Structure 1
Amino acid sequence: MNWLSSKIELREISHVFQSHDRRPVNALEDISLQVSAGRFVSLIGPSGSGKTTLFNIIAGLQQPTAGQVLIDERDVTGKIGLVSYMMQKDLLLPWRTVLDNVVLGMELQGISISKARQLALPYLYQYGLGGFENHYPAELSGGMRQRAALLRTLLCHTELILLDEPFGALDAQTRAQMQEWLLQLWSDFGKTVLFVTHDVDEAVYLSDEVFVLTARPGTIKARLEISLDRPRSRQIVTDPSFIRLKETCLALLADEDIAGSILKLSRDVARKGKAQR
């Protein structure tokens, strides 16, 4: 891939933070990746590999210890408001209706609420929220809440979307429905998506590329090109090519689980030895 064609580039991102006992913890180490405009890219890795920290750095919410974030070839390290970021919890405001939650991002970007409502309402009807615009979040199912949160994220005037395990709390059937719904939105809106998940099937099903992170300190272990035809139907999960990609991801993650267990054991032994001195 040509660096100049990239929507986002991460160059040698590293991050060190202090633990509760003030010891330095190396969370991320020398992460470099590049994503072309309009691609759907997933990040998978063991728990604690720094995926959410990396998203916080991309969004400008945390400053990396070292490295650069570039969007459209501009250094935007530490700058906020340039990407749309949805976390696992939908974070809908309980006192606002569905419509007014969906338009919140547009309001924050300076669009009047009346204009934002006018722009957003047709999308609610197009993407399965029609008739719910005057309902409140407490009246919605988990899947409907996630639809509202995703639509809010996509309607912001940013071309790069960060989705951090948005379907992690959903049951299997709702999750599958939301995956197909998300692919339709991504196809219609043409945005660049970075997606964090622990679900290998989900990563392979949704993505053009999958990056596998190592156990802490997180770094890029492998990049897999997902050369499966689009649009994708649910039946693709039984295709031999899909199964091979899934097995490759699982093997890479299994290695990291073993490495992480060994690292944890060595740390525990070191702490016990220090305590006994």
Structure 2
Amino acid sequence: MITVENISKYYQRQTILHDVSFSLNEGEILGLLGPNGAGKTTLMRIINQIVVADKGHITFEGNLMQEKHLLEIGYLPEERGLYQSMSVEHQISYIGRLRGMSKTDTKSQLNYWLEKFGIQAWRKLRIEELSKGMAQKVQFICAVLHEPKVLILDEPFSGFDPINIELIRQELLEFKKKGHAIIISTHNMNSVEEICDRAILINEGHKLLEGNVHEIRENHKEGIYKISFTGNMIAFANALWAGYEIIDKEIHGDDDFSVYLKMRQGNEINDLLNAVINEVKITGVETVMPSMEKVFVKTINAEKEIPHE
């Protein structure tokens, strides 16, 4: 759907983006991750032709990105751009017309989204009368009103409580089912794990990591297992040998435990189970997958030790 090829951007000898490339596919949600100042927002602005790249180019459905393609993109910027004196319906209608929608289609979509979000009572309120979360819903509607092929969302969950985060999450999954392509820049790592198909990690303008979210987590496993059992904790610990390190434990009851173990010296899970099976009753075994937040922190910290040219 969108291909970003070798994009670079510099401001007064400072590297904002350096040779960043990736693709966004139809029916895919791509997570764009990175610390503050990594270059994520600049990259989104370049895709939306708000900022001009110093090097590289972007294509939309195989064609060099042009202004006409922006009508197929819905953009939710991090800095919210609503007109404070406008009413909710006036603001949404205004954006619809800017996106090339007819008056009839704009009105139909306006009514659809106000009803879908249960906010019909807001339509006459001025933007300045809305709370941050309320205004965020209006901004989201403005981004999706014209049913764009591509959604580019900068911190879409900011300002929302857990209930509304789930509401927006479900809407994004619906867009995905319909074949829309979505880029999300977010600090909400749980959302990345739950809805993103792929993730890209950018730091100091450089792309450090890209791949399927599950595969990224799989590749960063540290050989940690969670063993749940009933029985005696001391007997369990005594049955282990130097090949295992107890990292943490959870006590669920007098004889009900979960222990987090790290493998050492090439031992396998079967070796562990054979060592303890006669001492306690095993009720569960699972591989501990690192969260995207842990992968994020580990990768950024490792990158700090590598000088760039």
CA–CA separation in structure 2 for the residues paired with 1:13 and 1:242: 38
Normalized per residue, the structure richer in helix is 1
**2:141 maps to which of 133, 138, 151:** 151
CA–CA separation in structure 2 for the residues paired with 1:149 and 1:64: 26
The match for 1:232 is none
Instruction: Indicate whether 1:225 and 2:213 are aligned.
Output: yes
CA–CA separation in structure 2 for the residues paired with 1:81 and 1:219: 25
Q: Runs of 5+ in structure 1 lacking a partner?
A: 1-6, 19-23, 228-239, 267-277
The share of aligned pairs that are identical, in percent, is 21
Structure 2 letter corresponding to 1:177: I
Q: Residues 164, 184 of structure 1: CA spacing in aligned structure 2 closer, same or farther, 3 A cutoff?
A: same
State which structure, 1 or 2, has the greater radius of gyration over its C-alpha atoms: 2
CA–CA separation in structure 2 for the residues paired with 1:133 and 1:101: 10
**TM-score computed with the length of structure 2 as normaliser:** 0.67
CA–CA separation in structure 1 for the residues paired with 2:193 and 2:142: 25
Could you list the per-position Cα deviations for residues 69-126 of structure 1 after superposition, in whole angstroms to 9, with x for gaps in the alignment?
Answer: 1111111167773422112233221221111222222111344556522431122111
The match for 2:241 is none
Instruction: Indicate whether 1:178 and 2:164 are aligned.
Output: yes
Return the offset for 1:51: 0.4
CA–CA separation in structure 1 for the residues paired with 2:104 and 2:22: 40
**TM-score computed with the length of structure 1 as normaliser:** 0.74
Structure 1 letter corresponding to 2:299: D
SS in 2 for 1:104: helix
CA–CA separation in structure 2 for the residues paired with 1:241 and 1:126: 40
The match for 2:21 is 32
CA contact (8 A) 1:85 1:161 kept: yes
| Equivalent runs, 1:191-206 vs 2, <5 Å | 191-206=180-195
CA–CA separation in structure 1 for the residues paired with 2:287 and 2:102: 45
CA contact (8 A) 2:85 2:128 kept: no
CA contact (8 A) 1:99 1:121 kept: no
CA contact (8 A) 1:212 1:249 kept: no
The match for 1:9 is 3
Structure 2 letter corresponding to 1:39: E
The match for 1:271 is none
Q: Residues 260, 199 of structure 1: CA spacing in aligned structure 2 closer, same or farther, 3 A cutoff?
A: farther
CA–CA separation in structure 1 for the residues paired with 2:120 and 2:109: 14
Instruction: Indicate whether 1:253 and 2:239 are aligned.
Output: no
CA–CA separation in structure 2 for the residues paired with 1:100 and 1:243: 50
Report the aligned-residue RMSD.
Answer: 2.9
CA–CA separation in structure 2 for the residues paired with 1:14 and 1:167: 28
CA–CA separation in structure 1 for the residues paired with 2:38 and 2:31: 14
CA–CA separation in structure 2 for the residues paired with 1:126 and 1:31: 38
Q: Residues 103, 211 of structure 1: CA spacing in aligned structure 2 closer, same or farther, 3 A cutoff?
A: same
CA–CA separation in structure 1 for the residues paired with 2:11 and 2:186: 23
**Aligned residues between the structures:** 235
